[in-house]
Structure 1
Amino acid sequence: MSIQSGNVYKIYNGKSGTILDLSGTDGRTVSGFSDNNGDNQKWQLEQGPGGHWTFRSVASGQYLGVDGPIENGTPLVSVNEPFRWDIYPDDEDSSVFRVYVPGASTATNIDLSDHGNATPGTIVTLWIKWEGKNQTWRFEQA
């Protein structure tokens, strides 16, 4: 599947099957959650200069980003300003993708924490790339 700029997607973790969810409670926390087809689980992707991508929440209009250092364990949150990401097919399974912070000193990507724990509410963080499926994501047009 190719990802198209301007389209809205639901984004599922490659290991747990949970969906990238912006908290309906605080409007800031990003976690893996069961699919409830809410707008807080839908992201509009836009590709900008240099091929980088932004993820904008359909529910809030805010962007998927980080509010902290680019390092292992930094949680993803919603932010006011566009945050740039790179999206590449996984080396082992081209049906899923990895989402990286461009220009990081090491390959740092989005990671469903606790090795891809499927429990609803599991936090999504940054982590250095390793072969875990909990760092892969399936994009489904909403």
Structure 2
Amino acid sequence: MVNLQPGAKYKFVNAKANNVADLSGGDNKSIIGYSDHNGANQTWEALPGGNGWIFKNVATGQYLGINGLARDGTPVEGIHPPFEWHVKNDEGHPDTVRLFVPNTLFNMDLSDNGNATAGTKIQVWNKWTPGVNQCWRLVQGTWALAFCV
């Protein structure tokens, strides 16, 4: 059962590649799979929506979402305004969740069948089974921003 806490901060860890959903520092827009470096750009605040959850990036204040219609290959991006996701446990992997575009079977997917290479795009794709590259572990924690002077 999904047990998100309003205001809590999470990392999305891909169940197949074991990398995290990262708001790219290259363009401050693309959401990519990247190794975990505990960065604020990899940290998402959970906010309750009307019928789901909104995820706000701690580094930029952008929201995890899509622009336009959901279809296979639509990129997940850092966007404004807030975007609501339906978060559901995966039947085959009970310690993971899938993030669905509301009222669709399109869910967040680490592309190229879960390619672990840093920079692999995260997109939405129609749910498929087993689809481990579409399953995510939500790791709650507190991460500090580190600044170099």
TM-score, normalised relative to structure 2:
0.90
1:57 aligns with 2:57: yes
Tell me the CA shift for residue 68 of structure 1: 2.8
Q: Where does residue 7 of structure 1 map in the other structure?
A: 8
SS at match of 2:112: helix
Q: Where does residue 23 of structure 2 map in the other structure?
A: 22
For residues 64-91 of structure 1, the C-alpha deviation after alignment (integer angstroms, 9 at most, x for no partner) is 1112321000001111100010000001
Tell me the CA shift for residue 113 of structure 1: 0.2
Q: Which runs of 5+ in 2 are unaligned?
A: 142-149
- Deviates most, 122-131 or 63-72: 63-72
Q: Which structure is larger by alpha-carbon Rg, 1 or 2? A: 2
How far apart are the structure 2 equivalents of 1:65 and 1:100? Answer: 10
**Matching residue within 114, 117, 135 for 1:116:** 114
Q: Where does residue 71 of structure 1 map in the other structure?
A: 71
Q: Which runs of 5+ in 1 are unaligned?
A: none
How far apart are the structure 2 equivalents of 1:31 and 1:91? Answer: 25
Tell me the CA shift for residue 99 of structure 1: 0.4
CA RMSD of the aligned region, Å? 1.0
Q: Where does residue 137 of structure 2 map in the other structure?
A: 138
Q: Where does residue 91 of structure 1 map in the other structure?
A: 91
For residues 27-64 of structure 1, the C-alpha deviation after alignment (integer angstroms, 9 at most, x for no partner) is 101000000111000000111222x1101000000101
Tell me the CA shift for residue 26 of structure 1: 1.0
Structure 1 residue ranges, 4+ long, deviating more than 3 angstroms after superposition = none
How far apart are the structure 2 equivalents of 1:4 and 1:126? Answer: 24
**One-letter code of the match for 1:18?**
N
Count of residues in correspondence between the two structures: 139
Identical columns (%): 43
Q: Where does residue 100 of structure 1 map in the other structure?
A: 100
**One-letter code of the match for 2:120?**
T
